[in-house]
């Protein structure tokens, strides 16, 4: 946000990125600007010229569609409606949101609430064929978070489908969250089994985004501490297996790795190429990458 939207598009292109995830406004506040920034139109034009797509908007972190508190639930629904309404002004195809937390109310209650929220958030003008997709992201499972397993994601999507929300929803897998949730995605065989399960229960067609992050957290720790690609506990073998998986050629990969403001955005994009080509990993701006 600080860089300015047009500069963001140009930076993405300079470092070799071909897709982009942005925040539409302050990600840690409820307040939204009443008007879309005037720069959004120039941004939309620039990403078209630079052929950067799909663009994803990451919803504010405060959003929780699965919790029991009525006030927070109402604000969360409004926030997602706002993001969906304004996504086209940024040329964004996806609005990415965390599945949310039941806050102790239990999994079933949480999923009921979530599906209610999804229905309200996508109701009305957001259901046409050109409407942006609301993309639900898996969690690492801490703090009563829902959606840390493929099974829970499938439960939520099944219930949403029963209310006719199929066409508006898709799924994002965050690799670091899978790791935190206990999927040993350093192993290709575990990734293959996970994708098979996902295909059986959700359909791989509905997986449209992957957040490509390594992790400093321990396997199954339910924690989520993103690392530079290849520098965390997941490591290059698992990451490369996702990146080059033939069943995932339709999926857009986004980095949420740290240090973008210090040039590590370029390093991690370069590392995607290194992983795909099985080359040694590009080093950081300093000789030692910080933790
Ligand atoms: Zn993520």
Mean pLDDT within 210-227: 97
The H-or-E segment that residue 227 falls in is: strand 226-227
The mean per-residue pLDDT over the stretch 130-142 comes to: 94
3-state secondary structure of 92: strand
User: 5-277 falls under which CATH superfamily?
Assistant: Divalent-metal-dependent TIM barrel enzymes (3.20.20.150)
The predicted structure's pLDDT at residue 10: 97
> Interior CA angle at 93 toward 20 and 30, to 5°?
80
pLDDT of residue 288: 52
Nearest to 291 by CA among 261, 258, 247: 258
Higher pLDDT, 202 or 261: 202
* pLDDT tens profile 148-189: 999 999 999 999 999 999 889 999 999 999 999 999 999 999
Q: From the CA of 129, how far away is ligand 1's center (Å)?
A: 26
Residue 27's pLDDT band (cuts 50, 70, 90): confident
Mean pLDDT score of the chain: 94
What percentage of the chain has pLDDT greater than the value 70? Answer: 97
CB 141 within 8 A of CB 222: yes
Confidence check: pLDDT of 285 > 80: no
**The predicted structure's pLDDT at residue 286:** 61
pLDDT at 24 over 90: no
Task: Please give the model's pTM, rounded to 2 decimal places.
Answer: 0.95
* C-alpha 272 – ligand 1 centre gap (Å): 17
Dihedral in degrees, nearest 10, Cα atoms 256, 251, 142, 29: 50
Minimum mean pLDDT among 26-35, 150-159, 239-248: which range? Answer: 26-35
Helix, strand counts (H, E) of the chain: 9, 9
Domain boundaries, the chain: 5-277
Name the maximum alpha-carbon separation found in the chain: 54
Rounded distance from Cα 181 to ligand 1 centre (Å): 13
Q: Determine the pLDDT at residue 42.
A: 96
- Ligand 1 centre distance from Cα of residue 256 (Å): 7
Ligand 1 centroid – CA 7 distance (Å): 23
pLDDT attached to residue 26: 84
Higher pLDDT, 26 or 115: 115
Residue 190: pLDDT above 70?
A: yes
């Amino acid at each position: 946000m600080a860089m300015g939207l047009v500069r963001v598009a140009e930076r993405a292109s300079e470092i070799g990125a071909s897709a982009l995830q942005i925040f539409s406004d302050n990600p840690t506040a409820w307040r939204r600007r009443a008007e879309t920034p005037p720069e959004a139109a120039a941004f939309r034009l620039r990403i078209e010229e630079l052929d950067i797509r799909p663009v994803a908007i990451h919803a504010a972190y405060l959003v929780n569609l699965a919790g029991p508190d009525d006030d927070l639930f109402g604000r969360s629904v409004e926030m997602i409606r706002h993001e969906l309404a304004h996504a086209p002004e940024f040329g964004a195809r996806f609005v990415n949101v965390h599945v949310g937390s039941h806050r102790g109310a239990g999994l079933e209650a949480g999923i009921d609430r979530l599906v209610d929220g999804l229905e309200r958030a996508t109701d009305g003008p957001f259901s046409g064929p050109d409407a942006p997709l609301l993309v639900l992201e898996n969690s690492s499972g801490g703090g009563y978070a829902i959606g840390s397993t493929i099974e829970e994601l499938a439960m939520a999507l099944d219930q949403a489908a029963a209310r006719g929300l199929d066409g508006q929803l898709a799924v994002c897998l965050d690799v670091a969250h899978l790791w935190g949730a206990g999927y040993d995605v350093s192993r290709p065989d575990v990734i293959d089994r996970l994708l098979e399960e996902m295909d059986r229960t959700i359909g791989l067609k509905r997986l449209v985004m992957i957040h490509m992050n390594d992790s400093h957290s321990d396997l199954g720790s339910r924690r989520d501490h993103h690392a530079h690609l290849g520098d965390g506990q997941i490591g290059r073998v698992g990451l490369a297996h996702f990146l080059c998986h033939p069943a995932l050629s339709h999926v857009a990969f986004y980095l949420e790795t740290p240090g973008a403001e210090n040039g590590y955005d370029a390093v991690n994009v370069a590392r995607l190429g290194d992983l795909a080509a099985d080359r040694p990993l590009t080093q950081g701006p300093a000789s030692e990458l910080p933790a």
